[in-house]
Structure 1
């Protein structure tokens, strides 16, 4: 069975080689590696083309500023039965693909998810994360998939499932991982969890997730949820409403907290309006109550500072379940 590994790149010359080496050293060898470049201006192309391995293929695309179009192009030409989307600074353990293929074939699923390890590049250490609880569970439902990091690097998809869903990555948009993954969840994939720690997600200061483009990144979440809500209505998976609403509210409050109420009020009001548009009584939802009971002090500050609601009003509504 051929596995396609799709790697979008942009000015990744200083670290993509480490990622590529980790793929080439896989114990499972029936793979194709599709490196799709977003118009790099450094030596990324030369680094990739220096490899003589026939499994490595390089494709140069026009710069769009986000990896969505590179992933979509890689998907469109992939020949594998299954697909793994890897970022250009991720690292695969040598048996990652072998173990995921084993889970895929034994359990006849559309999606395999393995446990990731988070590595802080600056401080050169593995860091803990909230995903530990998810991978400690014994049983899983589709609703549980709203609890995990939507990044693609620890997931292997059956290509025919992706084709049937018709879901693609948003292009020229940040946070597209979230929209893509949740849109696929609405198509009810058969999935399994591989609890082995098989890949390393690297946190570095120059990555998209931590760069100076954060303002656009946080506002792009509105485009992402447009995709999510459209797919939700299209598939009519209303049984996932509570899980979706819980994650939506948490994400909106998280995004709002990145903006200054003194100098970036316009962005705050846009996100606030979007929150009320799609969840008018979000402050009485079961999901928000769970967050509020755990982080009252934090949410009281957030709710007042960003004019979402007064803490007294929130407290009364949460308490009586209005």
Structure 2
């Protein structure tokens, strides 16, 4: 079998049928879709049952709390040579499967392929075309407007991942045998497990970039909510700290490893800064101080130093106010 499209799903009944319908016209007899239901409580199972056949399979499992587990379950069950990762609310655009397979067959030494894409809102309206064009790495490599397939030798893609995560999950295709080398997605991480995988593959293999748009990435109005910075950043920190630890084991030049570690430290600093900002907003100044010190320990950015000053001044002022209040109370 050629291709297995893995779709993790959790309470996605409102979008999953449209996602499946966008993939179906591209399937041949040598391709399959595997929907892994991560413990949905809506009517996902009933909707998916309308599509099931030899090439469209449905797997249910108890809720795992993140996409890594259902992705791994689907990959393990896949019969295809190539794994297409796809989210349950995105839309696959024409040519994705054939063009990806053609590029991978042309460059068999590649461990991952990713594509450009557009973003849409909850109603399918286009928000932004050619989303990846704004990323510095994409700008750097996309120097020929007539060229659509780019072979990216390691370690450059690995190094740029330490600056920006320029790879969108629904644009990714990975030969199944690559997982035997790098392992599966980290199920202990609820956010950022995908970037962790890109790091591991880009460190070992060349990758391919297709500059045409091959899917629509849906952005929900409530997908970015306040109060979640700590949860998101904590998982990202786990991924980044692991990369910081493992970078010393690469065979790349020390100059490249040094730049990689500096970039990772800057990202760690930013994530601890984000946590500190949320803690300040919630009034937890002591925890914010601990977070901002961790931020500065990794990289003393202007933002982190400024926030430290703000927290320190706030703590001093709060201490003075408490002393004044006690004094007034004592003196009647």
TM-score range, shorter chain: 0.7 to 0.9
The aligned counterpart of 2:182 is 165
1:111-151 deviations in Å (ceiling 9; x for gaps): 11111212233693322646434434247433234434344
**Residue of structure 2 equivalent to 1:293:** none
Q: Where in structure 1 are there 5+ consecutive unaligned residues?
A: 289-298, 311-322
CA contact (8 A) 1:120 1:203 kept: yes
Confirm or deny that 1:135 pairs with 2:151: no
Q: Which runs of 5+ in 2 are unaligned?
A: 144-149, 313-332
Name 2:56's counterpart in structure 1: 56
| Alignment of structure 1 residues 32-43 onto 2, 5 Å | 32-43=32-43
Alignment partners' CA distance in 2, 1:123 and 1:51: 22
Q: Could you say which residue in structure 2 is the equivalent of 1:225?
A: 240
* Equivalent pair of 1:34/1:59 in contact (CA under 8 Å): yes
1:111 aligned partner: 112
In 2: Cα distance, 1:211 partner to 1:25 partner: 39
- Give the distance between the partners of 1:308 and 1:235, measured in 2 at CA: 40
Residue in 2 aligned with 1:93?
A: 93
| Candidates 291, 303, 306, aligned match of 1:304 | 306
What's 1:245 paired with?
262
How far has the Cα of 1:89 moved from its partner?
A: 0.8
Distance 1:233 1:31, change over 3 A: farther
In structure 1, C-alpha distance between the alignment counterparts of 2:170 and 2:287, rounded to whole Å: 30
8 Å contact 1:83–1:158 — kept in the other structure? yes
- Normalising to structure 2: TM-score of the pair? 0.75
Question: Residues 37 and 59 of structure 1 are in contact (CA less than 8 Å); yes or no, is this contact kept in structure 2?
Answer: yes
What residue number does 1:126 align with? 127
Q: Deviations over 1:236-263 (max 9, x none)?
A: 6553441353255146415633514242
Cα pair 2:116 2:210 within 8 Å, conserved: yes
2:193 maps to 1:176: yes
Contact 2:90 2:216 in 1 (8 A): yes
Conserved 8 A contact 1:151-1:178: no
Q: Is 1:86–1:152's contact at 8 Å kept on the other side of the alignment? A: yes
Structure 2 Cα separation of the partners of residues 185 and 159 of structure 1: 15
Tell me: CA distance 1:5–1:169, structure 2 relative to 1, closer, same or farther (3 Å): farther
Residues 191-230 of structure 1 correspond to what in structure 2 (within 5 A)? 191-207=207-223, 210=225, 213-230=228-245
Matched residue SS, 2:59:
strand
Distance (Å, rounded) in 1 between the aligned partners of 2:85 and 2:287: 31
- Aligned partners of 1:272, 1:29: CA distance in 2, in Å? 55
Please report the RMSD computed on the Cα atoms of aligned residues, expressed in angstroms: 3.1
1:76 aligns with 2:76: yes
- Paired residues, what number? 290
- The equivalent residue for 1:259 is 278
Q: What is the distance in 1 between the residues matched to 2:228 and 2:43?
A: 22
How far the C-alpha of 1:97 sits from its partner, in A, is 1.0
CA distance in structure 2 between the aligned counterparts of 1:218 and 1:65, rounded to whole angstroms? 16
Whether the 8 Å contact between 1:119 and 1:127 is mirrored in structure 2 is yes
Counterpart in 2 of 1:316?
none
Q: 1:60 to 1:19 in 2, by over 3 A?
A: same
Looking at structure 2, the residues matched to 89 and 103 of structure 1 have their Cα atoms a distance apart, in angstroms, of 26
Alpha-carbon deviation of 1:309?
11
The structure number with the bigger radius of gyration is 2
Partner of 2:31: 31
Q: Tell me which residue corresponds to 1:319.
A: none
